[in-house]
Amino acid sequence: MQQFEIFYMTTPILMTRSKNIYHITFWFVSVFIWLFTMFVASDFKNVLTFKTITVTIAFNLCFALAVYTNLRFLLPVFFKKKSFFLFFTFLFISAGLSAFLIQFLLIYPLNSFVLEEDGFKSFLFSEWFGFFIFSLVYVGITSIFSLTREWFILQKISSQLKDIEKEKLEAELKVLKTQIKPHFLFNSLNNIYSLALDKSDDTATVVLQLSDLMRYILYDCNEKLVDINKELDFTRNYISLHKIRLDETTPINFIVNGHFDGHKIAPLLFEPFIENAFKHGLYGKELDSFINITFNFDENDQMELVIENSYDPNWDHSKKKNGGIGIQNVIRRLELIYPNKHKLSIDKDEKTFKVSLNIELS
């Protein structure tokens, strides 16, 4: 209903050339049907005289009053105000006025001009109610034609808008994904830089691991959805990349519960949350630092990711802050890819920072 309301508020009836052609054709056919009906009613006598044609056209002009009052004013009022009472009240008034014009301004004044034609006389209704019914029939037929045509136009416009919106969302997703890739590379290079400064023997190993991770990002992640096995492998390798620069006693747990074979998921959804845990959850080699990463899969195609890491509100987290691109990015991607199919909660207390993400898998 709202679509019709918008249409009638912005697109008046009979404004395009094609509409004018439709209406001219309709009235031409109407005049022809009236004349043909009179021809049949007069036992196929010749009624195609100047008199009968003139009055028949005049009849149709009176019917047109009701038709265009309805199309031009009543239908827009009906769809805008959503008032059946208002619509039908003015509809009956316009149909009655049309019948009045035919009865009292055409039939009576032109009685001597045309009623001597036998065929015409035998066909005409002399009662006002008959012309009133004819007016309603004309209004009904033209309303059906008009609304049907506008419905098809609205469907076409709606389809075009959906295509545009889809293209817009896909373009936004591509932009978001391109933000993730350099963001990931930047943070990984920071890890390698730290190892290089310490002249660690693990530097070469980390470079190779980073190469594998980048290969996944550059090639597999171009797809809208990837096999969840690949995404979990990427997550494991990403965690391993971070663990190399940490003390072996730092508790970092990665657990996967349930079966997930055959499922797909949008790529790189977990990495920003895991990166955030490593960035803000570890305080050097303190014993109370920890990171727990748990994936739970159930039989109802539901996936839950829970990330818990140590958190100290007194520690200066701004030292490791670089704009928060990752978290805001993934939140927007979740909104676009999994609308009404995900739930994200982020909580923290004096000791723990917790991220819980639930997704309905495909």
State whether 151 and 296 are in the same domain: no
Q: What are 304-342's pLDDT values in tens digits?
A: 999 999 887 776 555 554 445 678 888 988 998 899 999
State whether 262 and 308 are in the same domain: yes
Q: Which of 138, 1, 2 minimizes the C-alpha distance to 62?
A: 138
In this structure, what token pair is assigned to residue 155?
Answer: 């469907």
Residues in CB range of 310: below 8 A, 6 or more apart? 281, 282, 283, 288, 289, 290, 291, 351, 352, 353
Res 10 pLDDT > 50: no
Q: What are 272-307's pLDDT values in tens digits?
A: 899 888 887 775 555 578 899 999 999 888 999 999
Cα–Cα distance, 215 to 165 (Å, whole number)? 31
Strands 352-360 and 226-227, sheet pairing: unpaired
Where among 115, 134, 162 does a domain terminate?
162
Q: Which pLDDT score is estimated for 116?
A: 52
In this structure, what token pair is assigned to residue 158?
Answer: 């709606």
Q: Is residue 136 part of a domain?
A: yes
Q: Are 93 and 85 in contact (CB under 8 A)?
A: no
* pLDDT winner (highest mean) among 2-6, 128-132, 349-353: 349-353
State whether 205 and 306 are in the same domain: yes
State whether 33 and 103 are in the same domain: yes
Where among 105, 135, 162 does a domain terminate?
162
Neighbours of 127 (CB within 10 A): 11
Q: Is residue 145 part of a domain?
A: yes
| Count of structural domains, the chain | 2
State whether 65 and 147 are in the same domain: yes
Res 15 pLDDT > 90: no
Q: What are 37-93's pLDDT values in tens digits?
A: 777 766 666 667 777 777 777 777 777 887 888 778 777 777 667 776 777 777 777
Q: Is residue 178 part of a domain?
A: no
Q: Are 210 and 225 in contact (CB under 8 A)?
A: no
Neighbours of 347 (CB within 10 A): 10
CATH number at residue 273: 3.30.565.10
Q: Is residue 168 part of a domain?
A: no
State whether 157 and 205 are in the same domain: no
Cα–Cα distance, 329 to 206 (Å, whole number)? 26
Q: Which domain holds residue 300?
A: 200-360
Res 9 pLDDT > 50: no
Q: Is 173 exposed, middle or buried (0-12, 13-18, 19+ CB in 10 A)?
A: middle
Q: What are 213-233's pLDDT values in tens digits?
A: 888 887 787 888 999 999 999
Q: Are 188 and 208 in contact (CB under 8 A)?
A: no
Determine the angle formed by the axes of helices 271-281 and 228-243, rounding to 10 degrees.
20
Q: Is residue 219 part of a domain?
A: yes
Q: End-to-end alpha-carbon separation of the chain, Å?
A: 33
